[in-house]
A and B are shown apart, each in its own frame.
Chain A
Amino acid sequence: MAILSEDDCRAILKKALSYSKADECEINFTGSDSGNIRYARNTVSTSGVLSQSSLVISSAFGKKLGVTTTNEYDDASIEKAVRLSEELAQLAPENPEFVPFLGPQTYAPPSKTFVPETAAITPNQRTTMVEQSLKIAKDNKLTAAGFLQNSARFSSMMNSHGLFAYNTSTDVNFSVTLRTDDGQGSGYSTKGFNDVSKLDTLAFTKIAAQKAAGSKGAKAIEPGKYTVILEPAAGIVLLEQLYGSLDARSADEGRRFLSKPDGKTKLGEKMVDERVNIYSDPSHPDLPTSSWTSDGSPQEKRSWIEKGVIKNFTYSRYWAQKKGVKQIPSPDSIIMDGGNASLEELIKGTEKGILVTRLWYIRSVDPQTLLFTGLTRDGTFYIENGQIKFPIKNFRFNESPVIMLNNLDALGKPERTVSGESFQSALIPPMRIRDFTFTSLSDAV
């Protein structure tokens, strides 16, 4: 579907809402145009474009709620979808936790989430960007597998209490893995932006090429506790397990690492090193996001961890009402403060340690301690006396981001990166961590 204007969205939402006979009705209307190229074995594999949209209709009678979605927009289909949501609501038992939909809200002025040049990327441009990446692979006698995707989206919502919200956004994401022909070396690079002019597939592929060539002939060292430098693409997948778990209700109910005995929580307590500051800011120029959430709540700049102290939990509208506090939605963007040191400077300042490019297959092991397991991948190197000495075989780790941030040694300059697990972007510094726990060796390259 084309990226509809605010007026277009308002008109179709108004029409859909006009069919409602429920006590309350709220409708979200979103759509996107996206295109991608996937390549492997130094050639294109799959590629395509997608145009899609969806209406999500929530109808409530008293405290009974029903939700339907549809992507068919003739009058009869929209009306049927509204009726079905009403039928589902009538069939549902009362939910005592139901909270009425919000009334009109005031949102911060939209940040620059939409870049017309990104929305206008053509198949020819995508092919050319991938061609540049493939050139680096072929020039260096490496084998490339990569993915380039761009999207343009509109999001809008309206409800029977007069709330209306609208936003558009774009993004372009790129990732590439280069492997040596003998399968003994592998390097990775990933980047994502709202603005395609910031994406240099040639430069980012060169980084992966250096790591691939440099990781050939990896030596095995014993598993154990090591000082590590986690590049942003590695750090984000552990950090997001921490900042994505700040739900007040679960903590209050006693079933999170943030819980304490007798119904208390660690809100307001220092949990990690005092240099850790994590916040969200929808208007940040390097990571702009929407100023409202899918339930119409305003998104504001907010601190989550300040000087190592847990500053805020997220509160659903129900839990906020029950606890008599302000609702705090989950953030769409995360920024972690850092210093000014580059990755190279962090390496120079390391007596003995391990440089980690990427962490992979992250899974929860123990929610009580926020313990996760996973493995290093695509570029793991031993550092001695401030220099990368040799590539090492990959490790499995078992570590908690809470323990990790207590063992913080140094922070570098934050940069925008993309999580290989959640595909979310964040501004994360490279981090030097003491005593990171590796529990076994992996033969994988």
Chain B
Amino acid sequence: MGISASMLSRIPVFGSPITPGTNLQPVDVALKKKMADVVLNAARSKGATYTDVRIGRYLNQFVVTRENKVQNIVDTQSYGMGIRVIANGCWGFAATDKLDNDSIAKAAELAVAIAKENARIQTDPVQLVAQKGFGEVSWKTPIEKNAFEVPIKDKTDLLLSVNDAAMKGGANYVNSILFLVNEQKYFASTDGSYIDQDIHRIWPLFEVTKIDSKTGKFETRQSLSAPRGMGYEYLIPRESDKIKGVATLYRDRYDMLEDARAAATQAEQKLKAKSVEAGKYDLVLDPSHLWLTIHESVGHPTELDRVLGYEANFAGTSFLTLDKWQSGKFNFGSKNVNIVADKTQPGSLGAVGYDDEGVEAKKWDIIKDGTLVNYQTIRDQAHIIGLKESQGCCYAQSWQDVQFQRMPNISLQPGKSPLSPADMIKNVEKGIYIIGDSSFSIDQQRYNFQFSGQLYYEIKNGKIVGMLNDVAYQSNTQEFWNSCAAVCDQSDYRLGGSFFDGKGQPAQSSAVSHGSATAHFKGVNVINTARKI
């Protein structure tokens, strides 16, 4: 088939209003509803008993710089449709970026054909927990300033000034990047929902490198920012959002310039820092570090699909087996450990109005006073733990990927008694205060983990006495959370997170936040990571 026949005949009939440069406004809802109805009807006519369709346009912008150079400015967009059906009791999925009526109807038929083909090797039919239709509704991330609408020059000026501050502070190299995401997604299902959502995320990052040319030793210090479900307002500093201490930390507004200046100084300090002596230490973990430990050791093992074995071939299973939950007594952590799942938290990466199978966002307890009380799940697994409704944890990274269970924001609740990080440190005899995230690794059932940070401060008899280096801590999840002696109060609560939580086959990324206040863990095993090659 020649180019004219193969390509031009498949020009999207709805393509004309959808053009780069004018794509900040989502596609007209009426148009998307028409397309969705074509798919729902086509699938039903071929025997689907349930169908959902996601029409998505996914926009990314990357502004990439190093030192005094803008290396790249990249705008990406991807537009297409994912169709999921149940036929003969089995799931089928097809995705296409050819969006004329004929092509999308054929994709729906293909999804049904795949479901029917696979039904012959399926043991039990899919059971979807009931979900009411919401009719035509919409939701938008509550941003103050759309980062995609901010002039490119403002963004490059900011990053170049950040780099300049680091270089003037003595850095040898600095790389910085601004990463913006806009998911314009439309969901429709045979349950009667037509949901239009406009999701925004932002992540400013840098890495400062300092080299001792005589010894050849080098150190880096990465930004202490967090990725957020916010607009460009995150990058407009506000004094009331700063927490001053041995390093300045940030709540809901980030001062990138100030952090870069500090990073240059701290990278130099890291080069001269004392190598840690291996042994047991009390750890005081800042939220800029603790979010990742929460993610790996609480977020993942409480995913019900992992518990059930759906991820056994890749991401792994979980030590939090159903019998532990059913007992109602499984001691996950100390009484100070209260952890909630929350898809509604403003400014977080996981905040949406509805998940990717049309379930309204909600909030629930996972660990209550140290005891395991719940998991995270979706419509086809909710019945296994006796739920009458899904917890709304379904997500696909784009139109072209099938949706499945993904982690909501999972956060450690702040302590109820007034406690600041400074007061917490006063109670530590021999410890390490860790700020920022770095290396992270955990086994496939989430028992054994190892984490590192950006900055390590030695605590002796209630006082910070200097900086340490070559630090990593290893622990077992249950032991670690049972060693949690205290959590600071609400005034210290902050969000960390990532755009890139990987799971599934084919692997998909999901953006998720984890909140906490600074927390104190007793007697954790610290290793020295220095080696020679």
CB A31 to nearest CB in B, in angstroms, measures 9
Once A45-B91, A254-B211, A400-B531 are accepted as A-B contacts, the answer to whether A71 and B80 lie under 8 Å apart by CB is: yes
Q: Mark A167-180, 1 if CB is under 8 A from B, else 0.
A: 00000000111010
Interface residues of B in 347-390 (CB under 8 A from A): none
Do A74 and B3 touch (CB < 8 A)?
Answer: no
A39 and B79 CA atoms in complex are apart in Å by: 28
Interface residues of A in 44-74 (CB under 8 A from B): 44-54, 65-74
* Cβ-based interface call for A285 (8 A): no
A84 and B216 CA atoms in complex are apart in Å by: 44
Q: Mark B275-292, 1 if CB is under 8 A from A, else 0.
A: 000000000000000000
Residue of B nearest to A439 (CB): B527
Q: Mark A408-429, 1 if CB is under 8 A from B, else 0.
A: 0000000000001001000000
Stretch of A104-112, A274-282, A360-368 with 4 or more beta carbons under 8 angstroms from chain B: A360-368
Do A69 and B152 touch (CB < 8 A)?
Answer: no
CB A424 to nearest CB in B, in angstroms, measures 13
Interface residues of B in 420-468 (CB under 8 A from A): 439-448, 450, 452
Do B209 and A369 touch (CB < 8 A)?
Answer: no
Residue of A nearest to B60 (CB): A69
Residue of A nearest to B217 (CB): A368
CB B50 to nearest CB in A, in angstroms, measures 14
Stretch of B134-142, B311-319, B410-418 with 4 or more beta carbons under 8 angstroms from chain A: B311-319
Do A68 and B75 touch (CB < 8 A)?
Answer: yes
- Contact partner of A69 (CB less than 8 A), chosen from B75, B442, B446, is B75
The interface centre, meaning the residue of B20, B72, B76, B213 with most chain A CB atoms within 10 A of its CB, is B20
Residue of A nearest to B94 (CB): A49
* Cβ-based interface call for A146 (8 A): yes
* Cβ-based interface call for B114 (8 A): yes
CB A124 to nearest CB in B, in angstroms, measures 6
Do A54 and B78 touch (CB < 8 A)?
Answer: yes
Q: Report B-chain residues with C-beta under 8 Å of the C-beta of A123.
A: 113-114, 117-118
* Cβ-based interface call for B178 (8 A): no
CB B523 to nearest CB in A, in angstroms, measures 15
A307 and B530 CA atoms in complex are apart in Å by: 27
Do B80 and A261 touch (CB < 8 A)?
Answer: no
* Cβ-based interface call for A260 (8 A): yes
* Cβ-based interface call for A219 (8 A): no
Residue of B nearest to A146 (CB): B313
A38 and B2 CA atoms in complex are apart in Å by: 35
Q: Report A-chain residues with C-beta under 8 Å of the C-beta of B92.
A: 47-48
CB B124 to nearest CB in A, in angstroms, measures 7
Count A-side interface residues using an 8 Å CB cutoff: 111
Do A8 and B3 touch (CB < 8 A)?
Answer: yes
Once A46-B93, A52-B80, A77-B19 are accepted as A-B contacts, the answer to whether A40 and B75 lie under 8 Å apart by CB is: no
Q: Report B-chain residues with C-beta under 8 Å of the C-beta of A11.
A: 2-4, 7
* Cβ-based interface call for B111 (8 A): yes
The interface centre, meaning the residue of A72, A360, A440 with most chain B CB atoms within 10 A of its CB, is A72
Q: Report B-chain residues with C-beta under 8 Å of the C-beta of A12.
A: 3, 7
* Cβ-based interface call for B214 (8 A): yes
Interface residues of B in 161-189 (CB under 8 A from A): 172-173
* Cβ-based interface call for B338 (8 A): no
Do B1 and A2 touch (CB < 8 A)?
Answer: yes
Q: Mark B108-150, 1 if CB is under 8 A from A, else 0.
A: 0011011101101111100000000000000000000000000
Do B448 and A375 touch (CB < 8 A)?
Answer: yes
| Nearest 7 interchain pairs by C-beta | A48-B93, A145-B312, A442-B448, A444-B445, A444-B443, A11-B3, A261-B216
User: Residues of A with Cβ closer than 8 Å to B?
Assistant: 1-2, 4, 7-8, 11-12, 36-54, 65-74, 76-77, 80-81, 83-85, 87-89, 91-93, 95-97, 123-124, 127, 130-131, 134, 143, 145-147, 149, 175-177, 179, 183, 186, 188, 253-255, 257, 259-263, 271, 360-371, 373-375, 377, 394, 396, 398, 400, 402-403, 420, 423, 439-445
Beyond A50-B94, A84-B21, A271-B533, 16 additional pairs, beta carbon < 8 A: A48-B92, A48-B95, A49-B114, A67-B75, A71-B97, A91-B153, A92-B70, A92-B73, A262-B216, A263-B213, A365-B439, A365-B529, A366-B531, A371-B531, A439-B527, A444-B446
14 contacts between A and B (CB under 8 A): A43-B124, A47-B92, A72-B12, A74-B12, A77-B19, A147-B314, A149-B506, A255-B173, A261-B216, A361-B441, A365-B450, A398-B527, A440-B450, A444-B445
